[in-house]
A and B are shown apart, each in its own frame.
Chain A
């Protein structure tokens, strides 16, 4: 979304069309250009006793990943008036090996 300046001055964002003037930045998707997002999600770890030693290992070896592209016209995700729209989604279970060095 083009983030407008309030009354065309300073560092405050305007929200109503009566006070919006100018642009601070556009957080939307520009036309025709590739936009990349990358997320690094660490597996939660736990400490356990094994053969008398404390070792750290993943709490789980499978992570269910969901990526959702939402369009939220106004306000926080939720009540009906905001009319959020789920543009696209992706789901995959990412697994890591259980044995190895």
Chain B
């Protein structure tokens, strides 16, 4: 007997009428003028940029989050382990200065746009600063390098602290970068912290809290964790690709967890977002099974004893490791 199955594909047409409260005045991006950057104007100095997204006012009430976040590399995102700061200088010398059309002949020519190839993720708020801030960053990097060379610990520490004074702090994740789809969800407003709920927020500088539709989603992290070449730049860069790997190798084929599930919740690390340098994360990452045995292998008259070592590994993370 044969069964004939007829499938009906219903095409559902959904029409949504959005009654907008905002009024279009012919400009692209309604509400852009409400952002922290638009309200305070572009930063002219590193100190001004640090102040624009200063998270020190959050400490008094969110001490726990602050203590955790300080341990994460996000709190020193252009210094990193030191390798990041060094590589930004390599980028200037082996990248920008060698590229014939970059407009950079010496570190003195480096502008915000040149640094955005890195700052896009390592310091997104650099986009809210004037070129003088790019110059201040470059000078600080070279001061740091010179101090290290001279073994001047005091000067090196001073430059290091300046480099760490701008970072991915509370207000980058909970305000500036809390909304990815700005034409749908609106621009992040000054005076508002974005999290999981709407309402009043008992802080003088940030009297409101609002829902960020992506705070618990992978894209919140993914906006800085790379998918491959950053094609929107005049000179594409590529660094971290863990979001790309997550999308295509993990989410598509293996599992449904979000970055936050593994890195913040299951790890119990909260805002202390870590990689393998945390023993718990390292342990969670790879199953490593090995067996070894010996025997006399023979081929015709030839006898060659050997040991066979078999290794089986399964990466339990949500992306390829290591990333590069």
Contact = CB atoms under 8 A, between A and B. Distances in A.
B319 A31 contact: yes
Nearest to A7: B236
A73 to B, nearest CB: 7
Given A32-B255, A71-B322, A16 B241 contact: no
Given A22-B229, A90-B288, A63 B83 contact: no
A17 B304 contact: no
B295 interface: yes
Contacts, number: 179
Q: Is the interface of A mostly helix, strand, loop or mixed?
A: strand
Contacts of A18: 90-91, 94-96, 117-118, 235, 237
A89 B242 CA distance: 26
A69 to B, nearest CB: 6
A71 B295 CA distance: 31
B254 interface: yes
Q: Is the interface of B mostly helix, strand, loop or mixed?
A: mixed
A2 B316 CA distance: 17
Q: Which one of B294, B304, B314, B317 has the greatest number of beta carbons of chain A within 10 Å?
A: B294
Interface residues of A, number: 53
Contacts of A96: 294-296, 305
Interface string A46-77: 00000000001010000101010101011000
B306 A41 contact: yes
A63 to B, nearest CB: 5
Interface of A: 1-4, 8, 14, 16-23, 26, 28-43, 45, 56, 58, 63, 65, 67, 69, 71, 73-74, 81, 83, 85, 87-88, 90, 92, 94-97, 100
Interface of B: 81-83, 87, 90-91, 94-96, 117-118, 228-229, 235-239, 241, 245-246, 249-250, 253-255, 276-277, 282, 285-286, 288, 290, 292-296, 303-324
